[in-house]
Amino acid sequence: MSEIKRSKFKEMAVYQIWTRSFCDSNGDGIGDLPGVLGKLDYIKSLGVDGIWFSPIYPSPNADYGYDISDYKNINPEFGTLDDFRQILDGAHERGMMVFMDLVVNHTSDEHEWFKESRKSVDNPYHDYYIWRKGRDNKPPNNWLSNFEGCAWEYDEGLDEYYLHIFAKKQPDLNMDNPKVREEVKDIMRFWLDMGVDGFREDVITFISKAEGLPNGIPMPAATGIEHYRHGPHLDEYLLEFRRDVLSKYDCFVVGESPMMTVDSALSLIEEGKDQKLDMMFNFQHMEADCIMTDWVKTPFSLRKLKGAMSRWQNGLYGRAWNALYIENHDHARIVDRYGSRDYREESAKMLAAMYMLQSGTPFIYQGQEIGMTNIELDGISECKDIATFNAYRLFKKLGFSEKRFMKLANKVSRENARTPVQWSSEENAGFTTGKPWFNINENYRSINVRDEDKDPDSILNFYRSLIAFRKENDVAIYGKYREFYPASNSLFVYERVLGSRRMLVVCSFKERSVRFDSPSGYDLNSGKLVLSNYKDNKIVNNGFLTKPYEVRVYLF
Ligand code: GLC
Ligand code: CA
């Protein structure tokens, strides 16, 4: 029945590493590559097939690696190219692939290209970036930066402005310049030739800007976005990268794509000869407790979550492939968003099964597998992230005190995802023997890898079972998705069907008990319970009364 084309990239599960907070090997308080090397067996023990590294290139760290000053080297804080090659070999020996983050919408302002580019208007690198004259002493247009006010920075020497959709220290590359596209291809080849298995491409759908850079519709921190979120030459450039480089390797690319809908995504990820990206990270299911940005917080809405997920599940099935995630380095921890701190273990397991058993390739962010939580930072002086600083500037204008702002930041900011991984209950959570670069969550004494590793009922071991289950059951990978009870505010119920195999996933998002009745055509007593987060799994009248954040998965 399944016409879905099979591939190892569809069957894999991927673990994301944000190196700075993963594991420190030399006591300087900063996670590094030898630290990762020492944990390869742990990563393998999860059952994953690949590792995606958030950027590990040299970087002035204005945006912790997403501002790259040299694309063909390793950040000395993290180690050397040799350390990286050891990881590559170590991962490959263990049957795991390695994916690099490719950040080519922008570079660091400390990249050689940019330094040259600002030397003079006839410098050969000038046109590597988007430089424009102002309009009557004002910036060329009204675009706003995602990270700091105006999207244009004036350079007195040149009497021109350069565009930066993110921080000032992240000037946008001019992808319309064929030389820039050649540089991108050259970077891709460099890593692929070394043995890397593919890329996660950072805000890749922003690389083409509308002709003439017209003014945008005013909106906080994003004015102009309609002119670059899926620009006129995006499809063409991605196809060029595929034709000239990617198609020549056995490799994989997942694009990060804010503000995409199913329809706009399909032109990029639909399978067939013009497919540009293998998969895409969309953002719609990450907006079930906020509007447009994590900072505009609303109460969690299960219906919003289900609506978004089902839209992508149904819209892509048989045509394109989903990338599944509920955490990464850009969002607060999921138990504190869609789950419950009071039922941390139960809700972390439920959320894991809820997303990983959908159709798509699951990504797991470091610490997610042990149910790490948000952090309590006391003041702005404890913060590290440029996006948090930008939000502080904006919220202050709205009259927020520092205290009130921190209350919000502790719920929604990216800082929450960036605290060091909690390895053990030893000092500094076993992350470092020195002074950690960033606060460690005090709950490491009870939430850590070592303890969870020993506990058969831990979140960690639930993840392991879940990943193994998915791998062993085609229905969990290739089965067709159908949602039941879409109007329910309490339950997320769906099936996956492949040939004669059926899998039923029942998730409760409520602490209180809710009656679940099997959808028609299902006799629970004839199913096999394969995963659950409680010991007692009684069936009453072909259904059950849920326990807090209960999940059950049945196979038929
Ligand atoms: C992506 C990254 C984020 C970064 C931004 C600018 O959204 O995931 O961390 O700040 O792009 O590169
Ligand atoms: Ca270190």
Q: Does one domain contain both 156 and 303?
A: no
Q: Does one domain contain both 307 and 420?
A: yes
Residues, CB-to-ion distance under 5 Å, ligand 2: 24, 26, 28, 30, 32
Q: Whose CA is nearest to atom 5 of ligand 1?
A: 66
Q: Ligand 1 pocket test: which of 165, 173, 206, 330 has the largest number of ligand atoms within 8 Å of its C-beta?
A: 330
Structure confidence by residue, pLDDT tens digits, 533-553: 999 999 999 999 999 999 999
Within a domain: residue 170? no
Residue 195 is predicted with a pLDDT of 98
Structure confidence by residue, pLDDT tens digits, 399-442: 999 999 999 999 999 999 999 999 999 999 999 999 999 999 99
Q: What's phi and psi for 254, nearest 5 deg? A: -115, 130
Ligand nearest, relative to CA of residue 420: 2
Average pLDDT, the chain: 97
Rounded to the nearest angstrom, the distance between the alpha carbon of 103 and the centre of ligand 1 is 8
Mean pLDDT of 431-459: 98
Q: What's phi and psi for 194, nearest 5 deg? A: -75, -20
- pTM of the predicted model as reported, rounded to 2 decimal places: 0.98
Structure confidence by residue, pLDDT tens digits, 40-87: 999 999 999 999 999 999 999 999 999 999 999 999 999 999 999 999
Element (H, E) at 418: none
Q: Is the dihedral of CA 209, 215, 217, 222 positive or negative?
A: positive
Counted domains in the chain: 3
Q: Does one domain contain both 282 and 134?
A: no
Within a domain: residue 172? no
Name every protein residue with a CB atom under 6 angstroms from any ligand 1 atom: 63, 66, 103, 166, 202-203, 256, 329-330
Rounded to the nearest angstrom, the distance between the alpha carbon of 310 and the centre of ligand 2 is 42
Q: Ligand 1 pocket test: which of 109, 202, 389 has the largest number of ligand atoms within 8 Å of its C-beta?
A: 202
The residue annotated as part of the active site, out of 77, 256, 345, 483, is 256
Q: Which of 415, 434, 465 is the last residue of a domain?
A: 465
**CATH assignment at residue 543:** 2.60.40.1180
Question: Does the pLDDT of residue 3 top 80, yes or no?
Answer: no
What proportion of the chain, given as a percentage, has pLDDT over 90?
98
Q: Which of 442, 465, 488 is the last residue of a domain?
A: 465
Q: Whose CA is nearest to atom 4 of ligand 1?
A: 66
For residue 481, give the amino acid letter: Y
Structure confidence by residue, pLDDT tens digits, 210-238: 999 999 999 988 999 999 999 999 999 99
Mean pLDDT of 513-520: 98
Q: What one-character DSSP code corresponds to residue 252?
A: E
Question: Does the pLDDT of residue 2 top 80, yes or no?
Answer: no
Structure confidence by residue, pLDDT tens digits, 463-505: 999 999 999 999 999 999 999 999 999 999 999 999 999 999 9
Within a domain: residue 278? yes
Ligand nearest, relative to CA of residue 170: 1
Mean pLDDT of 256-275: 96
Q: Does one domain contain both 540 and 435?
A: no
The ligand 1 atom nearest the CA atom of 258: 7
Residue 220 is predicted with a pLDDT of 87
Within a domain: residue 173? no
Within a domain: residue 2? no
Q: Does one domain contain both 201 and 263?
A: yes
10 Å CB burial of residue 19 (0-12, 13-18, 19+) is buried
Decide if 202 is catalytic.
Answer: yes
Within a domain: residue 253? yes
Residue 4 is predicted with a pLDDT of 87
Ligand nearest, relative to CA of residue 20: 2
Rounded to the nearest angstrom, the distance between the alpha carbon of 544 and the centre of ligand 1 is 43
Mean pLDDT of 496-517: 98
Question: Does the pLDDT of residue 281 top 60, yes or no?
Answer: yes
Nearest to 276 by CA among 292, 264, 286, 285: 264
Q: Ligand 1 pocket test: which of 165, 166, 170 has the largest number of ligand atoms within 8 Å of its C-beta?
A: 166
**CATH assignment at residue 137:** 3.90.400.10
Give the DSSP letter string of 314-355.
HHHTTT---EE-S--TTS--GGGTTS-STTHHHHHHHHHHHH
Nearest to 104 by CA among 189, 187, 211, 191: 187
Within a domain: residue 536? yes
Q: What residues make up the domain containing 390?
A: 10-105+178-465
Query: Degrees (nearest 5) of the Cα angle 92, 17, 479?
Result: 75
Q: Which of 426, 443, 465 is the last residue of a domain?
A: 465
Question: Does the pLDDT of residue 295 top 70, yes or no?
Answer: yes
Rounded Cα distance between 538 and 169, Å, is 58
Which strands, in side-by-side order, build the sheet including 279-281? 279-281, 252-256, 198-201, 97-102, 50-53, 14-17, 361-365, 323-324
Question: Does the pLDDT of residue 1 top 50, yes or no?
Answer: no
Alpha carbon distances (Å) from 79 to 28, 36, 43, 168, 429: 12, 11, 19, 27, 22
The residue annotated as part of the active site, out of 202, 330, 336, 415, is 202
Q: Does one domain contain both 490 and 379?
A: no
Q: Does one domain contain both 457 and 490?
A: no
Question: Does the pLDDT of residue 5 top 80, yes or no?
Answer: yes
Structure confidence by residue, pLDDT tens digits, 73-86: 999 999 999 999 99
Q: Would you tell me how many other CB atoms lie within 10 Å of the CB of residue 271?
A: 16
Q: Does one domain contain both 370 and 495?
A: no
Decide if 256 is catalytic.
Answer: yes
Q: Does one domain contain both 100 and 116?
A: no
| Torsion angle, alpha carbons of 235, 239, 241, 247, to 10 | 150
Q: Does one domain contain both 379 and 273?
A: yes
Q: Whose CA is nearest to atom 3 of ligand 1?
A: 330
Q: Does one domain contain both 435 and 499?
A: no
Q: Whose CA is nearest to atom 7 of ligand 1?
A: 203
Residue 221 is predicted with a pLDDT of 86
Within a domain: residue 22? yes
Mean pLDDT of 171-197: 98
Rounded to the nearest angstrom, the distance between the alpha carbon of 166 and the centre of ligand 1 is 8
**CATH assignment at residue 347:** 3.20.20.80
Q: Does one domain contain both 97 and 120?
A: no
Nearest to 411 by CA among 470, 337, 484: 337
50 within 8 A of 96, measured Cβ to Cβ: yes
Question: Does the pLDDT of residue 532 top 60, yes or no?
Answer: yes
